[in-house]
Amino acid sequence: MTNDDAFNQALELIDPDDPSSLLQDNELRDAVISAIHELPETQRAALLMVLMGYTHKEIAGGMGLPSCGAVRWHLTQGKKALRGILGPLKDDLIG
C-alpha cells in the first residue's frame, strides 16, 4: 500500500457529516492541530483551502501561486511534513 492509498483510506473513515469524528480524543485532536500549525504558512493555507473545498485553480489564484502544479507541490510537501510530525501517533490513529 502506498502512502497515498493509506491517506485516502484514512479519509474514508471520516464521517462527511461530522469530520471531527476521527478526532474525538482530545490529545489526538490537539496533536493534529499542533502539527498543522507547524507547517510553513503556504503549505498550511493550501491544505486548509483544499479541506474547505477550494479547487487547485482557486487556491493558486487566491494565494498568488503561478499554477495548479505549485499548489500540488505545496500540498505534497505539507502531507509529507504532517506524516513526519504525526508518525509517532500512527498507532493511536489506526487503533
* Interatomic CA distance for residues 30 and 50, integer angstroms: 21
- Determine which of 4-8, 45-49, 81-85 has the lowest per-residue pLDDT on average: 4-8
CB distance 60 to 71 below 8 Å: yes
CB distance 36 to 82 below 8 Å: yes
Dihedral over alpha carbons 35, 39, 44, 48 (to 10 degrees): -10
pLDDT of amino acid 1 = 40
Q: Which domain holds residue 83?
A: 3-13+22-94
Q: How many structural domains does the chain have?
A: 1
pLDDT of amino acid 89 = 72
Q: How confident is the model at residue 53 (pLDDT cuts 50, 70, 90)?
A: confident
CATH code at position 82: 1.10.10.10
Higher pLDDT, 32 or 81: 81
pTM exceeds 0.75: no
